[in-house]
Amino acid sequence: MTRPPYSYQVTKRLVDVGLTLLVAPPALLVALVTALVLAVELRGSPIFLQRRIGLHGRPFTMYKLRTMRHPQFGEAPDYRVNDWSSFYFNPPGEEDPRVSPVGKFVRLTSIDELPNLLNVFLGDMSLVGPRPEIPEIVEQYPDEFHRRHDVLPGIAGLAQAHGRSNLNYAEIMELDLEYVDGHSLTMDISILSRTLAVVATGRGAR
């Protein structure tokens, strides 16, 4: 990978911090109100912490709002992919039945992602970049897919700007690697504006 100019890296970080501080007050208010509603509905903590893989393959803790009911005792998700051809080329299945009624709305509006702004402020993520994946999936990546870790993961990426969950994994990876190979401030601004439009219409939310 060819490293982007230092001026781009500095400018991108300044934009990340500046925009995060700008939107933090209203975002925090919306997140707090939503968290209270989710806490009542889910009867538990509305904050969801999950390990994700970031820049250069380093793990970090990502902050989100919980939208799923807590698993029953003994339940554990299985992230093994037994059929990669099906996983790559088929869009995601139906909506997860564990998602609560309020959680559906929170996902549709992407309010559950607002705590990601803390990750941006801490430097684990950027406003724009490939969405970070969980370690269990990353461990099963083909070598080429690991190039997506050459840049900071983001809240919004090319995949989110092109329809989010309407895409299959192969299309997501193609867009992520396209971003890795050609990211610039112009592309970042375009992705942010297109993602806002997608979120406003709820297209591809699941």
CB 193 within 8 A of CB 164: no
Neighbours of 18 (CB within 10 A): 10
Whether pLDDT at 175 is above 50: yes
Q: For the chain, what are the domain ranges?
A: 6-201
Whether pLDDT at 2 is above 80: no
pLDDT digits (tens, 9 = 90+) for 114-125: 999 999 999 999
Q: b vs e for 155-172, b when ≥16 Cβ sit within 10 Å of the residue's Cβ? A: bbbbbbbbbbbebbbebb
Structure-token pair, residue 57? 């393959």
Q: How confident is the model at residue 162 (pLDDT cuts 50, 70, 90)?
A: confident
Whether pLDDT at 60 is above 90: yes
**What is the mean predicted confidence (pLDDT) over 178-202?**
89
Q: How confident is the model at residue 74 (pLDDT cuts 50, 70, 90)?
A: very low
Mean predicted lDDT score pLDDT of the chain: 86
User: Which residue blocks in 74-205 are alpha helix, DSSP H?
Assistant: 84-89, 101-108, 116-122, 135-138, 158-161, 169-182, 185-201
